[in-house]
Amino acid sequence: MGILGDEGLPVKGSVEYYVALAHRDRIIRGRHLAASNDQLFPLTFSGGNDTLRIPPLGHLHYAYVSVGTPSLSFLVALDTGSDLFWLPCDCKEGGCIRSLPFSSGQVLLLNIYSPNNSTTSETVSCTNSLCKHRCPSASSNCPYKVEYLSYNTSSTGILVEDVLHLITDDDQLRAVNTSITFGCGQSQTGTFLEGGAPNGLFGLGMDDLSVPNTLARNGVASNSFSMCFGHDELGRITFGNNGSSYQKETPFNVGQAHPTYNVSITQVAVGRNSSELGLSVIFDSGTSFTYLTDPVYTFISKSFNSQVQNKRTSFDSSFEYCYELSPTLNYEVPSVNLTMKGGDQYFVTSPTLVVDIEEGNVVYCLGLVKSEDISIIGRDYLSLYLYLLLYYEFKVLTNLFILIQKIS
């Protein structure tokens, strides 16, 4: 695929459109790579800081990452709800997806990583401090298996080390290459074989194994990252971004056995109704929608329902509160405002989702799903426009921006 001008791009919104945009940016930025220096600057992937949501691949945001020598490019899903970065690697039969078909009939071939094909790759032994799984012997390669919330979804393989290719996220675009530990995913199951994260998952969690922690440990970036999700399905990601002074704050809930980006909501307001009900929520870019437990779920949904004018309807979906849309597709909904621990307030800019349930029949739904156990604010509700800071503060901008920084 060559470099495309705007007039040469595929139809906007198609898989081909987003792949072409990212491919073009990757080539343009790659021309400007220069030698790195010893100063710490915000970093991003060597192909650029672009992220993209590809509708046929679910509600996740994706980015191109380059790994190994010679470098190979992978289209990975970005996930704040997990820690391990893994790539499809030396795949066992039926354990990986090797291509993506497009609606146009074209097929995008996906790279498969192999330690044997990279001169900078090394295996991770069971004596390595990052190896957390039981090993047959101390000299064995470190195995891993990660199971995810989606039904029967997992990645299994061994841990390896190799070079991650980055650049400074500034006008200079200097090359910064650093060794990281990641999963050589030999066998994937469930969603990973059905179109979700088919070419790897980039875990951005709090564990020592996550890439943000690794970059800080290697001394190439401060322990932080930022992600921006735009309304046009595009976004950006940067590592080592320290934020600014005007962001709002709330503390993380620390001391968990498995730390997550968990914060406390102390008050909820829906239009003219407000409540002192509180709950703890996890922010997870790898979860598509928002799941809330009672009594907060019931308060938000019933308060919302009492203030909308459209006729309520039902269809086979996870959303309980859906409404008919007029032919003009215009509708008004009450505001949804969350007050976080510490008193700062955050407005949900888009609490609803428009769903085309059949040709000519469009509805909108309150984008909440009732949960029986855990509350999660997912990617679509990250239109809260969040800015997370991982020195156990949580900071929010007004343009859908997540930054995480951990002070050691």
Q: Is the pLDDT of residue 407 over 50?
A: no
Q: Among 117-121, 218-222, 236-240, 282-286, which is the least confidently predicted range?
A: 282-286
Residues across the chain: 408
Tens-digit pLDDT profile for residues 335-351 = 998 898 888 888 887 78
CB 11 within 8 A of CB 104: no
Asked if 253 and 262 touch (Cβ cutoff 8 Å), the reply is: yes
pTM as predicted: 0.76
User: DSSP E strands: which ranges in 56-142?
Assistant: 61-67, 72-79, 85-88, 99-101, 107-109, 122-123
Q: Is 284 a catalytic residue?
A: yes
Coil/strand/helix, residue 303: helix
Neighbours of 99 (CB within 10 A): 10
The chain-wide mean pLDDT, for the chain, equals 80
Domains of the chain (ranges; CATH) run 43-239 (2.40.70.10), 248-405 (2.40.70.10)
> Are 250 and 264 spatial neighbours (Cβ–Cβ below 8 Å)?
yes
Which single residue is written with the structure tokens 């934020």? 243
Q: What confidence tier does 185 reach under pLDDT thresholds 50, 70, 90?
A: very high
Give the pLDDT band (50/70/90) at residue 370: very high
* Other Cβ atoms closer than 10 A to 221: 26
pLDDT of residue 358: 72
Report the alpha-carbon distance of residue 390 to residue 73 in Å, rounded.
29
Three-state DSSP class for 247? coil
pLDDT tens digit sequence for 244-297: 666 677 788 876 666 788 889 999 999 999 999 989 988 887 777 888 999 999
Beta-sheet strands, E only, within 84-218: 85-88, 99-101, 107-109, 122-123, 143-147, 154-168, 175-189, 201-203
More confident site: 327 or 132: 132
Q: Which of 50, 79, 83, 169 is catalytic?
A: 79
pLDDT at residue 11 is higher than 80: no
Give one word for 127, left, alpha or beta, with left for phi > 0 and alpha for psi -120 to 50: alpha
Name the residue among 379, 58, 55 with its Cα closest to residue 193: 58
% residues pLDDT > 70 (the chain): 79
Distance CA(320)–CA(313), nearest Å, equals 9
- Taking the CB of residue 399, how many other CB atoms lie within 10 A of it? 10
Contact yes or no for 43/65 (Cβ under 8 A): no
pLDDT digits (tens, 9 = 90+) for 37-88: 346 788 999 988 888 888 778 778 899 999 999 999 999 999 888 899 999 9
**Which residue, 204, 209, 259, is CA-closest to 76?**
204
Largest CA distance in the chain: 67
CA distances to 229, 255, 312 from 401, in Å? 7, 25, 33
Q: Residue 67 has what pLDDT? A: 97
162, 171, 284, 316: which is the annotated catalytic residue?
Answer: 284
| CA atoms within 13 A of residue 328's CA, in its CB half-sphere | 4
What is the predicted pLDDT for the residue at 14? Answer: 57
Lookup result for tokens 């909308």: 308
pLDDT of residue 298: 96
**Distance of alpha carbon 96 from alpha carbon 101, whole angstroms:** 15
Q: Is 79 a catalytic residue?
A: yes
